Every structure is written in C-alpha cells, then in structure tokens.
Amino acid sequence: MTAERVLTPAPTAYRWRWPALAALLLGEAMNLLDATIVQVAAPAIHSDLGGSVSDIQWFTTAYTLPFAVLLITGGRLGDIAGRKRLFVIGVTGFMLVSAACAVAPSVGLLIAFRVVQGGAAAVIIPQTIGLIKAMFTGPEVAKALGSIGPVMGLAAVCGPVLGGVLTHADLFGSSWRAAFLVNVPLSLVVLALSPRLLENRAPKRPTLDLTGTLLAMAGIGLVVHPLIGADLAALSGWSWGAVAAGLCLMTVFAVHQRRLAVAGRNPLVEPSLFAHRGFPAALVASTSFFAVTNGLLTVVVLQLQLGAGVGVLQAGLTLAPWSVGLAIASWIAGAHLVGRYGRRVMSLGLAVLSAGALSAVAVYRGTDAHPGSYPTPLLFALGVVGVGVGLFTPAFFTIALKPLRPQEIGSAAGLLNAVQQLGATLGVAVLGSVYLGNADSGDAAAGMRAVQLAIWGAVGLLAVSFGSSRMMVDASASGEGGAGR
C-alpha cells in the first residue's frame, strides 16, 4: 500500500470507533484542562519557586505561544506521517514533559518544559478531526464532531476548580506540582485506548513549510516577549525595536507564504482563504476575543491571590460561575440559537460579555473602601462573562467557516485555532502586564485600581472584536454564503 492511501478498513465496519472517540476527546480535554489548571496554580508556583512576578505570565504564555505557532505544522505532520502515529507521539510527549514540569526545581526549567509541552499539544490537537472522519461515516460523523463541544465545555468547568482543589489539597506535599501530575494518568488512559484508533493520512502528501514556521515563531516571539512583565507606558527603545523587528518578520512571512502559493507548493497559511473578504476580519475578531477571555482570567486570578490574599482553592471556586455560564450558554447557542438567529447570537455574546466586564469594574470600584476584602459580587459578574463567551464562540466559528469552500475548511479551522492561542498569549501578556505594572504588592488600593484598568483594556479589545465581527458578517451577507443572517 502506498503512503498516499488511507490505511484503514471501511469506517462502517469498524466496531471500536466509540472507544477510539473517547481517546480523542480526552486528548482534547486534557490540553484545555492543563491550560486552565496552571493559570489558577500559577501564583502558588511563583510563591514556591520564586523569581520575578512576571514569570507568572510566562507559565501560561510559554505553553500557548508554541501551541499557536506549531498547530498547523502539527496538522501537516499528521497528513504526512499518519494522524494516529502523531497523536500517540504527541500524547506520549505531553505526558513525559508534564511529569518533568511537576519535578522542575527552578522557574527557568519549568518555563522551558512548558514550551515543549505546548509543542506536544500542537501535535495532538490537529489530528482529532481527521481521525474522526476516518472512523465515522454518514450521520455519525456529525454526531461524533458534535461531542467535542460538550466535552470541552465540561473541561472548561472542571479546569479552574480542579486547579484550586489539587493545589490546595497538597497531596503528599505536591502542592502545585499536582496540577501537572494529573496529566500523567489522563495520558495513560488515552494511550490505553489509542490502539483502537485507525491510522489515516492525507490522500495527497503535502510538504512542510519549515521556513514559514521559523519566521512565524521568531516574529511572534519578538512581539510578545517585550510585552510580558513590562510597563507598557514606558517601554524602552530596545523593546520597541524588538516589536518592530517582529512585525517586519511577520511581513516577510506573509511574502514567503504568497511566493510558495504562486510556486504551487504548500504554504503554512493557505492564501486563498484571504480571497474571502470576511476571513481576515474573523482572524482579527478571534485574536482580540481570546485575548480578552484569557487576559481577564489571568488578571482575576492575580488580583484574588496576590491582591486580596485569597487561597488557591477559593480562587479556583471563584471562577466556577464563569465556567458554568460558558458551558450552559455554549450548549444552548450551538443547539438552539445559532441555526435560528445566526449572526445576532454573536453580537449578543459580545454585548453580554461587555456587560459582565463592566459589572466587574463596578464590583471592584465598590470595594475601594475595603480594598483587601473578597469581592463577593464578582461571582455574578464572572457568571455573566461566561454566558457571553458561551454565546459568542459557537456562533463565531459557524459564521467564520460557512462561506468557505470544502477544501478550505481544514486549513481555515487550523488557522483560527492558531490565532485563538495567539490571542490567549497576547491577552496574558498585555492585560497581565497592565495589572502587574500598576499594582503595588504593599498597597491593596493600588491593586484595585490596576485590575479596573486592566478590565477597561479588555473592554477596548472587545470593541475591536465587535467591529471586526461586524465586518465579517457584512462580507458574508454581501454574497459569500449567506452566513450573515
């Protein structure tokens, strides 16, 4: 059999497809759990290992940055070498490096291990949809793909709470290290089920764009690095120079992608996607939206643990209304609202999210008289934020992908996932730096002002999301598929 054929029996004859689906779903959920668990545990990691307070941001961005940049390359590797093989390699690597994170003796080593962990996640996630399509046929494909949303919603609910519980429990003196060790048994379950997966690869072998990958990594890294832990109002000339160099490299990357496409080779990013007028707007909307959600999550955790002196368990439980609201609203939007109301659900989600963010500002402003106290009304505000996130997300992805041709869906989905992780990286870097740059560890009132300033920054980014999503819908309504209903 040649390397260009699907190495499987007919999907309809495969009786192990549901246990195999469980392996894929757990692999997806494990990566989301890791990101949210570590965000909650990050202040405890800093307290134990020491280092600069900006290292708290690096515990997240060191994971999301390589995840973002390597996602599309990870998908290409699956096309070439086999998606099952890459999935198993990725899960094995993720498990081993998670164990390494758990025993890391220093901040530097932990951050280095997180970079490798993000790379492993970028190998795992792109294989899921291709493997599902290899194992299912007919109506079962939609049913299997539809199970991803609820599972990820459950992971979103469990992540922050589990991070608080594991760190607070301090099992066998593990403290925050349990936040990484939990990946080991989960990975072992995935690996135990993985023999049930069917091997599958692309019918036509693509090529790797290693030059494009390196340009993207260097460009984005140069933009993000100076923003972490910096006073954004007083960046040095060297910092601005690094940002400018990063933007120049991204321009070179765009030219390189165009040249590969003209030459008939496989660029990292498919240029034909940009022929759809709404797709660039969708990329901007996704980047700014996920910058808001991940940046807000980081800022709230920092304020609770560093400003209000709340324990890690209470901080994790404080985020539960956000997670529950997200899961419920996402299910309702995906199952009932998007098909009926289309783009209006996306706008409603942004409006509700903005209302939640403004409510959080009001809550923090109301605690000015007692700046070190626990802001109980914040629970309601975070619940509203979660509902807004849950309404927006399924509507956004539906509208962003609907105008595209079938052969463009895979590339577009990979790129949207990549900019989602990039947005998460930028949100943690920028909004986290706004908070840390204006908070004073000895002045609780300064911390209150800092968190309000960071949330106002998030509201500004939401305005970008609203404007770009409006452009995306207008382009669709003008003749590209009718998704702008």
Residue 362 maps to a domain: yes
Spatial CA neighbour of 427 closest among 224, 251, 271, 173: 224
As a whole number, mean pLDDT of residues 446-456 equals: 89
Given this model, what pLDDT does residue 12 score? Answer: 47
Residue 205 maps to a domain: no
Per-residue pLDDT tens for 381-411?
Answer: 999 999 999 999 888 888 887 777 766 666 7
CA 197 distance to own-chain centroid: 25
Given this model, what pLDDT does residue 2 score? Answer: 38
Domain that holds residue 255: 210-267
- Does the structure show a pLDDT above 60 at 293? yes
Task: Please provide the DSSP assignment of 427-451 as one string.
Answer: HHHHHHHHHHHH-BTTBHHHHHHHH
- Does the structure show a pLDDT above 50 at 480? no
Residue 75 maps to a domain: yes
User: Do both 441 and 386 map to the same domain?
Assistant: yes
- Does the structure show a pLDDT above 80 at 206? no
Per-residue pLDDT tens for 18-39?
Answer: 888 999 999 988 988 888 888 8
CATH number, domain with residue 393:
1.20.1250.20
Looking at 267, 288, 316, the residue that finishes a domain is 267
User: Do both 37 and 55 map to the same domain?
Assistant: yes
User: Do both 230 and 135 map to the same domain?
Assistant: no
User: Do both 225 and 161 map to the same domain?
Assistant: no
Contact yes or no for 136/11 (Cβ under 8 A): yes
At residue 14 the predicted structure's pLDDT band, cuts being 50, 70 and 90, is low
Lowest mean pLDDT among 47-56, 83-92, 112-121: 47-56
User: Do both 312 and 360 map to the same domain?
Assistant: yes
User: Do both 130 and 256 map to the same domain?
Assistant: no
At residue 482 the predicted structure's pLDDT band, cuts being 50, 70 and 90, is very low
User: Do both 48 and 23 map to the same domain?
Assistant: yes
Given this model, what pLDDT does residue 8 score? Answer: 45
User: Do both 121 and 223 map to the same domain?
Assistant: no
Residue 202 maps to a domain: no
Q: How many domains does the chain have?
A: 3
CA 284 distance to own-chain centroid: 15
- Does the structure show a pLDDT above 60 at 436? yes
Residue 5 maps to a domain: no
User: Do both 279 and 225 map to the same domain?
Assistant: no
Rounded distance between C-alpha atoms, residue 358 and residue 384, angstroms: 10
| Whole-structure pTM value | 0.85
Q: Which residue has the higher pLDDT, 460 or 8?
A: 460
At residue 348 the predicted structure's pLDDT band, cuts being 50, 70 and 90, is very high
Highest mean predicted confidence (pLDDT) among 352-356, 438-442, 444-448: 352-356
Per-residue pLDDT tens for 462-473?
Answer: 999 999 988 887
Backbone angles phi, psi at 440, to 5 degrees: -120, 120
Can you give 329-368 as a three-state secondary structure string?
HHHHHHHHHHHHHCHHHHHHHHHHHHHHHHHHHHHHHHCC
Rounded distance between C-alpha atoms, residue 353 and residue 431, angstroms: 16
Percent of the chain at pLDDT exceeding 90 = 33
At residue 440 the predicted structure's pLDDT band, cuts being 50, 70 and 90, is low
Residue 199 maps to a domain: no
User: Do both 334 and 482 map to the same domain?
Assistant: yes
Residue 299 maps to a domain: yes
User: Do both 346 and 470 map to the same domain?
Assistant: yes
Residue 22 maps to a domain: yes
At residue 233 the predicted structure's pLDDT band, cuts being 50, 70 and 90, is low
Contact yes or no for 385/335 (Cβ under 8 A): no
At residue 136 the predicted structure's pLDDT band, cuts being 50, 70 and 90, is confident
Percent of the chain at pLDDT exceeding 70 = 91
User: Do both 226 and 251 map to the same domain?
Assistant: yes
